[in-house]
Amino acid sequence: MTNDLITPDSLSKELLHSIFDAAYMEPSWDDDGDLRVKDDIHCFVIPSEKKDRIRLMSIFGFKENSSQSQRLECVNNINLEYTIVRASSGDNNILRFDFYINVQGGITRKNIVMAVKNFLSIPLTAVADHGTDIVQ
């Protein structure tokens, strides 16, 4: 894996796929053509329109019998403890984790892989700590 800087000019979903493939992170495409990466869990890897940042997003489901107040308490507790990621509660019983990697000024392939691995290490622990009873 070379350490050439990835910049907004060179960033693409295909380049990211090749980076994760070289790092043995099981990249794949979903039915909509979005890039997914798997370490212990899956996350979507989405370059912004301007290609100045990369959004990482992992989605879990809340149990249907969980209340809105339980969901908000879970999300708030995760956001207080795990400041590197943002957790949010969405429609359709969704618990979403996301994080942005800045590409402006350049970033190495290795740093992209390390940032994704770091991101992917958080949701399972956060759910175990704050959502065991309400997240499926």
In this prediction, residue 116 carries a pLDDT of 97
Are 26 and 35 in contact by the 8 Å Cβ rule? The answer is no
- Tell me if 75 is assigned to some domain: yes
Give the range of the structural domain holding residue 44, as residue numbers without chain letter.
5-130
Q: How many structural domains comprise the chain?
A: 1
Percent of the chain at pLDDT exceeding 70: 98
- Tell me if 135 is assigned to some domain: no
- A 10 A CB-CB count for 3 gives 9
Task: State the DSSP string of 66-98.
Answer: --HHHHHHHHHHHHHH-TTSEEEEETTTEEEEE
- Tell me if 60 is assigned to some domain: yes
- Tell me if 29 is assigned to some domain: yes
In this prediction, residue 91 carries a pLDDT of 86
- Tell me if 18 is assigned to some domain: yes
Are 14 and 5 in contact by the 8 Å Cβ rule? The answer is no
How sure is the predictor about 4, in pLDDT bands with cuts at 50, 70 and 90?
A: confident
How sure is the predictor about 131, in pLDDT bands with cuts at 50, 70 and 90?
A: very high
- Tell me if 136 is assigned to some domain: no
Residue 28 sits in a domain whose CATH number is 3.30.1460.10
**Cα first-last separation, the chain:** 36
Residue 1 has pLDDT above 70, yes or no: no
Exposure letters 10-42 (e unless 16+ CB within 10 A, then b): ebebeebbebbeebebebeeeeeeebbbebebe
For the chain, where are the E strands, in sequence order? 5-6, 28-29, 35-38, 42-47, 53-61, 86-90, 94-102, 107-108
- Tell me if 32 is assigned to some domain: yes
Identity of the residue numbered 103: V
In this prediction, residue 3 carries a pLDDT of 55
The pLDDT tens digits for 40-61 are: 899 999 999 999 999 999 999 9
